[in-house]
Copies of this chain bind each other. A is one copy, B any other.
């Protein structure tokens, strides 16, 4: 006998709701999709699990509308503590991944961080049915990993966007940078980031840095260049001071 199929209500219209819904259906669960805050259809009262995948600030409102349900109520947000949910049966199912409509993803490899004070076994079973990477994490530490994720993904992607703009001016295809982007990501599988650092700022090559800053198209990118070059330099000094033991 395979794992149990649950009846799930999924509330949301965004990337997380879309990808999670596909994965839950793929794992054999019955998924009743309900649109975002402006939904008209009534929410079924007899589901096993209600998954609130709406924007952070709308979670309390949606949770309040689920006041009478008996099933487990979870949200999917990285930075929202579990206790915004008023239900006794409550939890969090946070996918630590960047999900877009325009790109398919192997959901089995999306790390899921779960939390529940009432239904951890049920939540673990549902999470494990869609992903091979499920870990328990409390609200405070989930908030920290979400913050770290903003740096590793959203801000990293902003770096790619700046590079895209720089190449576009010159008519050089962005694809020329993909091996570098891939190797930069691959390196931190083997080395901690400060050990992996290369480039003019870690060598504090002020001639190259001044010339590069002068090439940038606007003040915003010059500020980014200066701030991050200083960070790389400070990171190196911090590491030396600590004799390589800590940062």
The answer to whether the Cβ of A205 comes within 8 Å of any Cβ in the partner chain is yes
A interface, by DSSP: helix, strand, loop or mixed? helix
Of the residues B98, B220, B247, contact of A164 by C-beta under 8 Å: B247
Of the residues B148, B166, B193, contact of A144 by C-beta under 8 Å: B166
Known: A103-B191, A211-B79, A232-B158. A163 touches B181 (CB 8 A): no
Q: Is the CB of B178 within 8 A of A188?
A: yes
Identify which of residues 165-218 in chain A touch chain B, using a CB-to-CB cut-off of 8 Å.
165-170, 172, 174, 176-203, 205, 207-208, 211-212, 215-216
Distance in Å: Cβ of A185 to nearest Cβ of chain B = 4
Q: Is the CB of A185 within 8 A of B187?
A: no
Interface residue total, chain A, C-beta cutoff 8 A: 98
The answer to whether the Cβ of A28 comes within 8 Å of any Cβ in the partner chain is no
Q: Which residues of B sit under 8 angstroms from A153, Cβ to Cβ?
A: 180-181, 183-184, 198-199
Q: Which residues of B sit under 8 angstroms from A165, Cβ to Cβ?
A: 247
Q: Is the CB of A191 within 8 A of B102?
A: yes
CA distance A176 to B199 in the complex (A): 26
Q: Is the CB of A145 within 8 A of B172?
A: yes
A residues contacting B by CB (< 8 A) are 15, 55-57, 79, 96-100, 102-103, 105, 109-111, 133, 135, 137, 141, 143-170, 172, 174, 176-203, 205, 207-208, 211-212, 215-216, 220, 223-225, 227-228, 230-232, 234-235, 246-247
